[in-house]
Amino acid sequence: MNRTMEKRGKQQRGLETQAALLDAAGRVFSQKEYDGARLKDISEEAGISLGSLYFHYGNKEDIAAAVLEVQQERMTEVLAGIMTNSESSLTRLLDLMDGIAELIASDPLVQAGIRLVSSLPEELKDSGHAPYGEWVGVTETLLKEGIEDGSVSSQIDLKVLAEYFNEVFIGAQVLAGIQDNWASLPDRVRRLRPHVVAALTRTDPA
Amino acid sequence: MNRTMEKRGKQQRGLETQAALLDAAGRVFSQKEYDGARLKDISEEAGISLGSLYFHYGNKEDIAAAVLEVQQERMTEVLAGIMTNSESSLTRLLDLMDGIAELIASDPLVQAGIRLVSSLPEELKDSGHAPYGEWVGVTETLLKEGIEDGSVSSQIDLKVLAEYFNEVFIGAQVLAGIQDNWASLPDRVRRLRPHVVAALTRTDPA
Amino acid sequence: MNRTMEKRGKQQRGLETQAALLDAAGRVFSQKEYDGARLKDISEEAGISLGSLYFHYGNKEDIAAAVLEVQQERMTEVLAGIMTNSESSLTRLLDLMDGIAELIASDPLVQAGIRLVSSLPEELKDSGHAPYGEWVGVTETLLKEGIEDGSVSSQIDLKVLAEYFNEVFIGAQVLAGIQDNWASLPDRVRRLRPHVVAALTRTDPA
Amino acid sequence: MNRTMEKRGKQQRGLETQAALLDAAGRVFSQKEYDGARLKDISEEAGISLGSLYFHYGNKEDIAAAVLEVQQERMTEVLAGIMTNSESSLTRLLDLMDGIAELIASDPLVQAGIRLVSSLPEELKDSGHAPYGEWVGVTETLLKEGIEDGSVSSQIDLKVLAEYFNEVFIGAQVLAGIQDNWASLPDRVRRLRPHVVAALTRTDPA
DNA sequence: AATGAATGAGTTTTCATTCAT
DNA sequence: CATGAATGAAAACTCATTCAT
């Protein structure tokens, strides 16, 4: 083991612990909301002492914030992946919906982020973690591009279209969450697709 | 004041206390999820002692259950009101959506019920309080009737139609809840109506 | 037991508990400084549950603040008692020194206040509990009056005189505290008296 | 660089670390009492790892003891410096007061020692670190010599004189500590001098 | 019925100390 | 020697629930 390894090893351990804790936090926060989640459950789930949890994350709010941050990152990754393919904006929007659905269904940490949003203490709600705000921005942008490239009908107000799109998607998320911990979300989204396409391409003033 | 009056007075007082507590519980549970809500907050919100809360409702679960029960009642009332008018099933479904939206927007106790659904401890989740299960049943029934009376297109699977309808509606509820404590829900539902009508009456295999 | 008694009884119990806790806090804080004192020790010393301590005093700082407040009151009482007798200002000052010494020697809660002053967390230091500031004000006032009524020599600057007086008195307090938990303070003050008198009545520019 | 140099270098490094830690400990203990001071604060203040702190000083008590020891040394140094000049004992006593005041005002580690005295856990209080005991011995010795060489009045009991002297000096220290972290101590002592001289040279039976 | 007080079993948080590298 | 990470025991604090009146 050379010096580089040694050095990396030292810091590595801490990073591994942090990752394990974050993962465990994801699993716990995906099952219980903020107040209902126990830090002890997280530390035990991670197989790491409670004291260590506090060494890496200063308190309960901080670890919840870390979960939200990673959720953001992972969703942004999916977004970035979708954006690189050069299809129509409508397709991109639908692919995005699929991609996020897939992510949610497979990633407890992302599920945790969803759960946390509605149960955070006031202080955290402000602090920059406004996933829906950002998300709405993305959908509106894609729809605007869709209108420009003709893949989306221009006869309905952009805001209203985005609102509809988001309501449908969020509704699917919520019901999938209740029904089977989001396992059914990808299928739900697939079944949703025709309705969404119809709504976004309608030519009569719906 | 005779004994009857006294007795009625006494019972009356108890009922008033119960109502005040229930109301306060609605307000508190509409802002915080189950674990985050404090019984002390409820008692203070009601201006009634904590001991009294325990006299009327045995424990935290019981008072949450009471909130859910009343929510059910109030939603059922709306449902009953809609059912008496003799229009088409599609109209009834849309009116129901409007009616429930109106109810949610105006009644913190009903809002509380919505919040509670996703944060209840396991024990309560089972105990008969499955509002969405019941709700889904109602929408499916109405859709079936709609297909029978021709107001709803028969070309899509009933379950899928109901799923879509509920996703849209729930999505609107959730986003309205986040945005402004449900105040915008009636407007959102109004904007949703054309999309729902289109989806339910579509003749091509969407 | 009449209704008044009942009513008083109810509130009485709480007040008794508070008093017991405050007393116990006095005893504990007089032996250990702020960070070293354990709330559990206080609750056990009082024979009252820790939960109850938190019911009456919201947190550690609050109970320390309560101790300081009562200390202030008791010292002010002594002050008021001294002020009513109509002797010379010098006598009043010396009597005050005796009275406070007596109080400190006999009252653990006042001793606690003295201990706390130098070990409080920053937040509490500000919040109005500036016993020494007030005390210095009193001594300066008495000295000014003494100069006016001729019982104190006017040849030394008032501030300097007050400074000297306070240094001597505080020094006696500190050493008595270290030596025997303030038991020797009254005697120390008695032995101090001639020096103080000499200093305050000196006619040559000392 | 030969082996000797390396060795010396290594030892050198350790000594530097120790000194940095001790200095940091002085700064921390001068602001917070024993229980309130955090070893982590000390290590951060020194810019040296916590592990290293434990390597050089076995535990919290040991580092506090080290601070006290150095405080003793520095005060003894001042004492020794004063003793070599051949003036009267009274002058020596007054010079000692000035010298110590100067030392306290300028040396956080000595300030730390002062703070620690009143907040030490029982175990440490015994273990030889009784600065005041020693200090009192010195003052009594000087006063006795003063009586012998005539620079101090012999009409008052020696113990009482020493007691007075120490009370005044300690009082000045405490108030300077509270007022401005001991910066004003030298000035205070200067203003104290005439009173002390008067007390120690008084010929009438004060 | 109603109330304020009391309790105990948790939960979060802190920190001296130890460990692995 | 030095470091960052880890730990456990104890501390502060919370809150559903019960009790005495």
pLDDT of residue C78: 94
**pLDDT 10s digits, C43-71:** 999 999 999 999 999 999 999 999 999 99
Q: Do chains A and D touch (3 or more CB pairs under 8 A)?
A: no
pLDDT(C85) > 90: no
User: Side-chain half-sphere of B134: how many Cα atoms within 13 Å?
Assistant: 12
Using CB atoms, pick whichever of C32, C168, C188 lies closest to residue D168: C168
Q: Which two tokens stand for residue B183?
A: 């105040």
pLDDT of residue B163: 96
Mean of pLDDT over chain C: 90
Percent of chain A at pLDDT exceeding 70: 91
Using CB atoms, pick whichever of D119, D178, D206 lies closest to residue C195: D206
Do A206 and B194 contact (CB within 8 A), yes or no? yes
Q: What are phi and psi of A87, to 5 degrees?
A: -80, -170
Do C68 and C74 contact (CB within 8 A), yes or no? no
Q: Which two tokens stand for residue D110?
A: 């000595």
| Positions in chain E where some atom is under 7 Å from a protein CB | 1-9, 11-21
Do C90 and C200 contact (CB within 8 A), yes or no? yes
Per-residue burial over A6-29, b = 16 or more CB atoms within 10 Å of its CB, e = otherwise = eeeeeeeeeeebbebbbbbbbbbb
Confidence of residue C124 (pLDDT cuts 50, 70, 90): confident
Question: Å from B137 (CA) to F15 (C1')?
Answer: 38
User: Which residues on chain B are in Cβ contact (under 8 Å) with A170?
Assistant: 170-171, 174-175
Helices (H), C47-130: 50-56, 60-84, 89-106, 108-117, 122-126
**pLDDT 10s digits, A131-180:** 677 888 899 999 999 999 999 988 889 999 999 999 999 999 999 999 99
> Under an 8 A CB cutoff, do D175 and C194 touch?
no
pLDDT(B120) > 60: yes
Residue with tokens 């005697």: C187
Rounded-to-integer distance, Cα D17 and Cα D172, Å: 34
> Is any atom of strand F within 7 angstroms of residue D44's beta carbon?
no
Mean of pLDDT over chain D: 90
pLDDT of residue A135: 87
User: Which residues on chain C are in Cβ contact (under 8 Å) with D32?
Assistant: 35
pLDDT of residue C6: 42
**Comparing D103 with C205, which gets the higher pLDDT?**
D103
Point out the nucleotide closest to A17 (alpha carbon to C1′). F5
pLDDT(A1) > 50: no
User: Side-chain half-sphere of D11: how many Cα atoms within 13 Å?
Assistant: 5
pLDDT of residue A7: 46
**Span between the terminal Cα atoms of chain C, in Å:** 68
Q: How far is CA B194 from the centre of its chain?
A: 23
Chain A residue with CA closest to B181: the answer is A118
Q: Which of residues 89-128 of B touch strand F (CB under 7 A)?
A: none
Residue with tokens 């985050």: B36
Question: Å from A67 (CA) to F1 (C1')?
Answer: 38
Average pLDDT over residues A105-114: 97
Q: Which two tokens stand for residue D34?
A: 């024993």
Q: Do chains C and B touch (3 or more CB pairs under 8 A)?
A: no
pLDDT of residue D134: 81
Provide the residue-wise pLDDT of chain D in tens; the chain has 206 residues: 444 445 555 577 888 999 999 999 999 999 999 999 999 999 999 999 999 999 999 999 999 999 999 999 999 999 999 988 778 899 999 999 999 999 999 999 999 999 998 898 887 777 666 667 788 889 999 999 999 999 998 888 899 999 999 999 999 999 999 999 999 999 999 999 999 999 999 876 54
Q: Which of residues 20-49 of B touch strand F (CB under 7 A)?
A: 37-40
**pLDDT 10s digits, B13-34:** 889 999 999 999 999 999 999 9
Q: Which two tokens stand for residue A78?
A: 């999916």
**Comparing D204 with B157, which gets the higher pLDDT?**
B157
Chosen from B30, B122, B135, B174 to mutate, greatest number of chain A CBs within 10 A: B174
Question: Å from A48 (CA) to F4 (C1')?
Answer: 16
Rounded-to-integer distance, Cα A64 and Cα A26, Å: 9
Q: Which two tokens stand for residue A113?
A: 């982020």
Percent of chain B at pLDDT exceeding 90: 74
Confidence of residue C77 (pLDDT cuts 50, 70, 90): very high
pLDDT of residue D5: 47
Q: What is the DSSP string of D41-88?
A: HHHHHHT--HHHHHHHS-SHHHHHHHHHHHHHHHHHHHHHHHHHS-S-
Average pLDDT over residues A185-201: 96
Do B77 and B165 contact (CB within 8 A), yes or no? no
Point out the nucleotide closest to D53 (alpha carbon to C1′). F2
The architecture that CATH gives domain D2-201 is Orthogonal Bundle (1.10)
User: How is chain C split into domains, by residue range?
Assistant: 2-201
Confidence of residue B131 (pLDDT cuts 50, 70, 90): low
Point out the nucleotide closest to C7 (alpha carbon to C1′). F21
**pLDDT 10s digits, B39-85:** 999 999 999 999 999 999 999 999 999 999 999 999 999 999 998 87
Question: Å from C58 (CA) to F11 (C1')?
Answer: 16
Amino acid at B88: S
Confidence of residue A3 (pLDDT cuts 50, 70, 90): very low
pLDDT(B9) > 70: no
| Positions in chain F where some atom is under 7 Å from a protein CB | 1-21
pLDDT of residue B10: 60
Number of helices (H) and strands (E), helices first, in chain A?
10, 0
**pLDDT 10s digits, A91-107:** 999 999 999 999 999 99
Rounded-to-integer distance, Cα A164 and Cα A199, Å: 9
pLDDT(B107) > 90: yes
Nearest Cα to B155, choosing from B99, B201, B94, B86? B201
pLDDT of residue B25: 98
**Comparing B99 with C205, which gets the higher pLDDT?**
B99
User: Which residues on chain A are in Cβ contact (under 8 Å) with B194?
Assistant: 206
pLDDT of residue C193: 96
**pLDDT 10s digits, A55-93:** 999 999 999 999 999 999 999 999 999 988 778 999 999
> Under an 8 A CB cutoff, do D170 and C175 touch?
yes
D3: left (phi over 0), alpha (psi -120 to 50) or beta: alpha
Mean of pLDDT over chain B: 90
Rounded-to-integer distance, Cα B168 and Cα B186, Å: 13
**Comparing D176 with B128, which gets the higher pLDDT?**
D176
Percent of chain B at pLDDT exceeding 70: 91
Determine if the pTM surpasses 0.85: yes
Chain B residue with CA closest to A193: the answer is B206
Question: Å from C183 (CA) to F10 (C1')?
Answer: 33
* Local structure of residue D156 (DSSP, 8 states): S
pLDDT of residue C21: 98
pLDDT of residue C122: 83
> Under an 8 A CB cutoff, do C119 and D188 touch?
no
Rounded-to-integer distance, Cα C167 and Cα D64, Å: 28
